[in-house]
């Protein structure tokens, strides 16, 4: 069995009055992510990690932010398509480890719902998807609540 590892990172600016999609669910918060799609940084980081592990470039290559067809798209659709793309090369997901960096709102209460939602989209077991959350202790763009970032590491296997 061949295994490969991928890493993904994404950042989105936060703005007043925008919807806040994170980990495939909508959070109730006065700020939300700005983006061409729904701005879900966790899904975007996971997509980049999966595509990188399969040596298939990045999310912007497959789903460009210049495409009118993708404007406002639900990032869960992009994630499902990404899983299909790597499957076409014979890869399946072994596991995913991810971290969200966000000052507010607190994410920990939402992690089980995010895991359930994303595992379902990817067709993997919840136990194979770790989601962690951290703040930056009020430092940088995350700490000043100007933005949100997410990191993901994935293991994929070719059978």
Would you say the C-alpha torsion 105, 103, 31, 35 has a positive or negative sign?
negative
Q: Is 20 annotated as a binding residue?
A: no
Ligand-binding annotation for 29, yes or no, is no
- Ligand-binding annotation for 7, yes or no, is no
According to the annotation, is 10 in a ligand binding site?
A: yes
Structure tokens at 121: 């989209």
**Is 136 a known ligand-binding residue?**
yes
Q: Establish whether 96 is an annotated binding residue.
A: no
Q: Determine the Cα–Cα distance for residues 89 and 36; give it in Å rounded to an integer.
A: 27
Is 62 among the annotated ligand-binding positions? Answer: no
> Is 17 flagged in the annotation as binding?
no
44 is an annotated ligand-binding site residue: yes
21 strand-pairing partners: 26
On whether 24 is known to bind a ligand per the annotation, the reply is: no
Is residue 60 a known part of a binding site?
A: yes
Flag whether 141 is marked binding: yes
- Report the C-alpha gap between 90 and 84 in whole angstroms: 10
- Nearest alpha-carbon partner for 152 in 61, 63, 52: 52
Q: Confirm or deny that 11 is annotated as ligand binding.
A: yes
Residues in binding site: 10-12, 36-37, 44, 58-60, 134-137, 141
Residues in binding site for a divalent metal cation: 10, 12, 44
């Amino acid at each position: 069995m061949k295994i490969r590892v991928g890493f993904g990172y994404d950042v989105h600016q936060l703005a007043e009055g925008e919807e806040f999609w994170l980990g495939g669910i909508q959070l109730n918060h006065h700020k939300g992510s700005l983006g061409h799609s729904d701005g879900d940084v966790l899904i975007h980081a996971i997509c980049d990690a999966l595509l990188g592990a399969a040596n298939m470039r990045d999310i912007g290559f497959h789903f460009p932010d210049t495409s009118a067809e993708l404007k406002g798209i639900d990032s869960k659709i992009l994630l499902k398509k990404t899983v299909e793309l790597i499957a076409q090369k014979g890869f399946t997901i072994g596991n995913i480890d991810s971290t969200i960096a966000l000052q507010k709102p607190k994410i920990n209460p939402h992690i089980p719902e995010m895991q359930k939602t994303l595992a379902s989209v990817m067709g993997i077991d919840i136990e194979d998807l770790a989601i962690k959350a951290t703040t930056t202790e009020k430092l940088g763009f995350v700490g000043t609540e100007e933005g949100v970032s997410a990191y993901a590491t994935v293991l994929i296997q070719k059978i």
